[in-house]
Amino acid sequence: QLSAIAGDLASFARRATSILDRSHPAHIVSIFSDERWHGWFPPEETNFGSLRWSTPRASVQLPTAPHHKKIVIEMAPIRPWLGDLHECLSFRLNRRSIDRKRVHFDDWRVTIDIDAEMFSPHALQRLDIRCEPLSAPGGDPRKLGIPVKQISLVSDDPLGPASDAGLPE
Protein backbone atom coordinates (compact mmCIF):
# COMPACT_ATOMS: atom_id res chain seq x y z
CA GLN A 1 0.00 0.00 0.00
CA LEU A 2 2.86 2.39 0.79
CA SER A 3 4.32 1.74 -2.63
CA ALA A 4 0.99 2.57 -4.29
CA ILE A 5 0.66 5.76 -2.23
CA ALA A 6 4.23 6.79 -3.15
CA GLY A 7 3.44 6.17 -6.83
CA ASP A 8 0.26 8.26 -6.57
CA LEU A 9 2.18 11.11 -4.90
CA ALA A 10 4.87 11.05 -7.58
CA SER A 11 2.20 11.11 -10.30
CA PHE A 12 0.45 14.03 -8.59
CA ALA A 13 3.75 15.95 -8.32
CA ARG A 14 4.44 15.45 -12.07
CA ARG A 15 0.92 16.64 -12.98
CA ALA A 16 1.25 19.70 -10.70
CA THR A 17 4.64 20.57 -12.23
CA SER A 18 3.16 20.20 -15.72
CA ILE A 19 0.25 22.52 -14.86
CA LEU A 20 2.61 25.12 -13.40
CA ASP A 21 4.88 24.92 -16.43
CA ARG A 22 1.92 25.59 -18.73
CA SER A 23 1.41 28.94 -16.97
CA HIS A 24 4.71 30.09 -18.50
CA PRO A 25 4.70 30.88 -22.24
CA ALA A 26 6.55 28.32 -24.34
CA HIS A 27 7.81 28.10 -27.91
CA ILE A 28 7.71 24.55 -29.26
CA VAL A 29 10.41 23.63 -31.77
CA SER A 30 9.09 21.41 -34.59
CA ILE A 31 10.72 17.98 -34.83
CA PHE A 32 9.70 17.87 -38.50
CA SER A 33 12.02 20.68 -39.64
CA ASP A 34 15.11 19.03 -41.18
CA GLU A 35 17.42 21.97 -41.83
CA ARG A 36 18.13 22.72 -38.15
CA TRP A 37 18.47 19.14 -36.88
CA HIS A 38 22.02 17.82 -37.39
CA GLY A 39 22.87 14.26 -36.38
CA TRP A 40 19.22 13.17 -36.11
CA PHE A 41 17.26 10.44 -37.83
CA PRO A 42 14.04 11.41 -39.66
CA PRO A 43 10.88 11.71 -37.54
CA GLU A 44 9.08 8.41 -36.85
CA GLU A 45 5.63 7.39 -35.67
CA THR A 46 5.66 5.10 -32.63
CA ASN A 47 3.25 3.93 -29.95
CA PHE A 48 4.35 7.07 -28.05
CA GLY A 49 3.46 9.43 -30.92
CA SER A 50 5.84 11.24 -33.26
CA LEU A 51 9.46 11.34 -32.17
CA ARG A 52 12.92 11.89 -33.52
CA TRP A 53 15.94 9.81 -32.51
CA SER A 54 19.26 11.56 -32.10
CA THR A 55 22.58 9.98 -32.84
CA PRO A 56 25.01 9.88 -29.89
CA ARG A 57 26.34 13.27 -31.09
CA ALA A 58 23.61 15.58 -32.33
CA SER A 59 22.71 19.26 -32.39
CA VAL A 60 19.66 21.39 -33.02
CA GLN A 61 19.41 25.10 -33.72
CA LEU A 62 16.88 26.82 -31.46
CA PRO A 63 15.26 30.23 -31.93
CA THR A 64 15.94 31.22 -28.32
CA ALA A 65 15.66 34.77 -27.07
CA PRO A 66 16.82 36.37 -23.81
CA HIS A 67 13.35 35.98 -22.25
CA HIS A 68 13.65 32.18 -22.58
CA LYS A 69 14.93 30.76 -19.31
CA LYS A 70 14.60 27.02 -19.89
CA ILE A 71 15.01 24.45 -22.61
CA VAL A 72 12.71 21.48 -21.98
CA ILE A 73 13.34 18.19 -23.79
CA GLU A 74 10.51 15.66 -23.65
CA MET A 75 11.68 12.12 -24.41
CA ALA A 76 9.60 9.04 -25.24
CA PRO A 77 9.77 6.21 -22.67
CA ILE A 78 10.72 3.68 -25.36
CA ARG A 79 12.70 1.40 -23.04
CA PRO A 80 14.59 1.65 -19.76
CA TRP A 81 17.77 3.70 -20.11
CA LEU A 82 20.89 1.58 -19.77
CA GLY A 83 23.13 3.13 -17.14
CA ASP A 84 22.68 6.46 -15.45
CA LEU A 85 21.04 9.01 -17.75
CA HIS A 86 22.42 11.83 -15.58
CA GLU A 87 25.96 10.66 -16.28
CA CYS A 88 25.49 9.60 -19.92
CA LEU A 89 23.89 12.80 -21.22
CA SER A 90 25.62 16.17 -21.61
CA PHE A 91 24.75 19.45 -23.30
CA ARG A 92 26.47 22.49 -24.77
CA LEU A 93 24.84 25.74 -25.84
CA ASN A 94 26.76 27.64 -28.50
CA ARG A 95 29.80 25.41 -27.91
CA ARG A 96 29.86 26.21 -24.17
CA SER A 97 29.38 23.30 -21.79
CA ILE A 98 26.28 23.48 -19.64
CA ASP A 99 27.02 22.81 -15.97
CA ARG A 100 25.26 19.69 -14.69
CA LYS A 101 23.74 21.81 -11.89
CA ARG A 102 21.66 23.54 -14.59
CA VAL A 103 20.28 20.23 -15.94
CA HIS A 104 17.28 18.67 -14.16
CA PHE A 105 15.83 15.23 -14.84
CA ASP A 106 12.23 14.20 -14.14
CA ASP A 107 11.46 10.79 -15.61
CA TRP A 108 11.60 11.29 -19.39
CA ARG A 109 11.87 15.07 -19.24
CA VAL A 110 15.08 17.10 -19.13
CA THR A 111 14.98 20.79 -18.17
CA ILE A 112 18.02 22.97 -18.82
CA ASP A 113 18.19 26.35 -17.06
CA ILE A 114 19.68 29.04 -19.30
CA ASP A 115 20.43 32.75 -18.89
CA ALA A 116 21.23 35.67 -21.18
CA GLU A 117 25.03 35.30 -20.90
CA MET A 118 24.78 31.91 -22.64
CA PHE A 119 23.31 33.39 -25.85
CA SER A 120 25.24 34.20 -28.99
CA PRO A 121 24.31 37.36 -30.95
CA HIS A 122 22.74 35.18 -33.67
CA ALA A 123 18.98 34.55 -33.93
CA LEU A 124 19.52 30.79 -33.68
CA GLN A 125 21.33 29.18 -30.76
CA ARG A 126 22.97 25.75 -31.14
CA LEU A 127 22.22 23.07 -28.56
CA ASP A 128 24.63 20.11 -28.74
CA ILE A 129 23.56 16.81 -27.18
CA ARG A 130 26.03 14.05 -26.34
CA CYS A 131 25.21 10.66 -24.87
CA GLU A 132 26.23 7.03 -24.74
CA PRO A 133 24.90 5.14 -27.79
CA LEU A 134 21.90 2.86 -27.30
CA SER A 135 21.27 -0.25 -29.32
CA ALA A 136 18.07 0.05 -31.28
CA PRO A 137 15.24 -2.42 -30.60
CA GLY A 138 14.46 -5.28 -32.98
CA GLY A 139 17.91 -5.62 -34.51
CA ASP A 140 17.95 -2.09 -35.97
CA PRO A 141 21.64 -1.41 -36.76
CA ARG A 142 21.49 2.31 -35.93
CA LYS A 143 23.48 3.76 -33.03
CA LEU A 144 20.88 5.82 -31.22
CA GLY A 145 21.03 8.69 -28.75
CA ILE A 146 17.79 9.95 -27.20
CA PRO A 147 14.17 9.64 -28.44
CA VAL A 148 12.89 13.24 -28.51
CA LYS A 149 9.16 13.93 -28.69
CA GLN A 150 9.41 17.68 -28.24
CA ILE A 151 11.78 20.53 -27.41
CA SER A 152 10.27 23.64 -25.84
CA LEU A 153 11.74 27.02 -24.98
CA VAL A 154 10.09 28.33 -21.82
CA SER A 155 9.95 31.89 -20.55
CA ASP A 156 10.31 32.47 -16.81
CA ASP A 157 7.97 35.43 -17.02
CA PRO A 158 4.30 34.32 -16.87
CA LEU A 159 3.35 37.52 -18.70
CA GLY A 160 6.27 37.51 -21.16
CA PRO A 161 5.93 36.84 -24.88
CA ALA A 162 5.56 33.21 -25.95
CA SER A 163 7.94 33.61 -28.87
CA ASP A 164 9.46 36.28 -31.04
CA ALA A 165 7.38 36.82 -34.17
CA GLY A 166 10.51 37.75 -36.14
CA LEU A 167 12.24 34.41 -35.58
CA PRO A 168 11.65 31.63 -38.10
CA GLU A 169 9.85 28.49 -36.96
Express each pLDDT in 26-48 by its tens digit: 778 888 877 789 999 999 998 88
Q: What is the pTM of this model?
A: 0.74
Distances (CA, A) of 160 to 23, 80, 169: 11, 37, 19
What pLDDT digit, counting tens, does each position of 2-20 carry? Answer: 655 655 555 555 544 444 4
User: Contacts by 164-169 with C-beta closer than 8 Å and gap 24+?
Assistant: 164/63, 164/65, 166/123, 167/63, 167/65, 167/123, 167/124, 168/63, 168/123, 169/30, 169/33, 169/63
